[in-house]
Amino acid sequence: MTYFIGIDTSTTATKALLIDTEGDVQGVASSAYDYETPQPLWSEQHPDLWWQATVDSIRQVLADTGISGEQIAGIGLTGQMHGLVLLDANQQVIRPALLWNDQRTGAECDEIRERIGAQRLIEITGNDALTGFTAPKILWVKNNEPHNFASIAHILLPKDYVRLKLTDTFASDRAGGAGTLLFDIKTRTWSPEVTSALGIDPSWLPSTFEGTAVTGVVSKIAADATGLRIGTPVFGGGGDQAANAVGTGAVSEGIVALSLGTSGVVFATTDAPLIEPEGRLHAFCHAVPNKWHLMGVMLSAAGSLRWYRDTVAPDMAFDDLLAPAADIPAGAEGLVFLPYLTGERTPHPDPLARGAFIGLTVRHTQAHMTRAVLEGVAFGLRDSLDLMRSAGLATIDQIRISGGGTRSTLWRQIIADILDTELVTVNSVEGAAYGAAILAAVGAGQYPDVATACDAMITVTGRTQPSGTDYAKQHAVYSALYPALKDIYPQLG
């Protein structure tokens, strides 16, 4: 038997997931770590934590399954996107990595727009300059730590530091590269125009590869540390959202992945690079070769429901809280919830946006408020779909939904009705790590392409069809509220 491992280097842990050639998960091991916030808005992590956690997780999953490193035919990598790892000429870490959720780079985002032009930046990279991306972090180091900037010889993403430790090779996947704001998503490579405008030496950047391409092989040092076989191929993989889409089978146009976790992510595969003209959606290369994707992110999805429960009914189980809302009519009798509890990203990139209940009357009960929260989050998810359609996504045939919020039958029905599209759940629940393992299996020749692998490994376990409930009037009200309130939010801050 041969097996494949997907390694997911997330913000709080590194997971190693081992599958067989049929896609059945044989074992999962995870090693946790912390990140630091040395100042307000800062978020940092030392790369050595990722490597030690990788070593521990690989050794643990091999021990738990009784499978030998000699039987592992390939490794796929995924993990947190946008982070900045700086290495000197001796491959030593210059400073702790700046993570995706680091928010210190507002001035650098303005600098990028000024140097390149806001519209030109979107045309090349598919994205506006946001504080989470890698490029503004590089400029922040240049502007604030010139001694560190002068030492740069290599720039990597978090999972690609793990790749370096495994293979002694500088490489990245194209989905991850597209998330740096330094990529030309049409040509699927680093943009000379952007790097030149920002004063970034192209030699610092790694070669990029498709998700199923071999990027290197396990070195003797890494084999001794992990228990893997020397020469085991390590494949490109992808950023966490692209790998998660592979792990749920959202690899063809018309199939959308929706993650209903603390945040809400709507991910649509495209056959060509589509760009939302104002940059309100992320447009990246996919981990699937020669595919792209659009992605919308709302910051408080299931997080809104958790906040609501913890605030108004902390002793209630979620099932007990949601049950009475099923008896409330659609539209919650004129009550609307805005889910901007931590600001918003899509479609309103506004860190000052605030959550609200609008339309409260003495008729409204806790059940009405619960229903309004469920509907408000669904309207927020619809915002992303509407932007995708306006950007040129021709068809949305099916939405593959995952995340903690999907356990509620009522919420799934509300989302299906508001999005007016079939929702399905699938058998794979390990997300990005599973997708990385699939990419490795395809790269190793176990399957001819990613779509074939997903068809073989991933099956639909449940379906929710739209019921025909009309939400048009309530959605129009919801859509009008942010424009009406946006000038008030800075005053509240």
Separation between Cα atoms, residue 372 and residue 364, nearest integer Å: 10
* Burial degree of 317 (CB within 10 A; 0-12, 13-18, 19+): exposed
CB atoms within 10 A of CB 22: 9
Strand partners, 9: 14, 79
Residue 455, CA distances (Å) to 21, 100, 250 in order: 13, 32, 10
Residue 360, φ and ψ in degrees, nearest 5: -60, 135
Residue 340, CA distances (Å) to 144, 154, 344 in order: 32, 38, 6
Separation between Cα atoms, residue 138 and residue 122, nearest integer Å: 19
Q: Which two tokens stand for residue 336?
A: 């609307």
> Residue 347: is the preceding peptide bond cis (ω within 30°)?
yes
The residue to which tokens 């934590």 are assigned: 49
DSSP letters of 32-74?
E---B-SSTT--EE-HHHHHHHHHHHHHHHHHHHT--GGGEEE
What's the distance, CA 295 to chain centroid? 9
Residue 240 appears among annotated catalytic residues? yes
Residue 366, CA distances (Å) to 317, 328, 372 in order: 14, 10, 10
- Catalytic member of 240, 271, 320, 383: 240
Do the Cβ atoms of 61 and 11 come closer than 8 Å? no
Q: Which two tokens stand for residue 298?
A: 């709302």
Question: If phi over 0 gives left and psi between -120 and 50 gives alpha, with beta otherwise, what is residue 128?
Answer: beta
Q: Which two tokens stand for residue 464?
A: 């929710």
Longest dimension (CA), the chain: 71
Handedness of CA 273, 99, 402, 407 (dihedral sign): negative
CA contacts within 13 A on the Cβ side of 450: 31
Separation between Cα atoms, residue 472 and residue 465, nearest integer Å: 18
Catalytic residue numbers, as ranges:
240
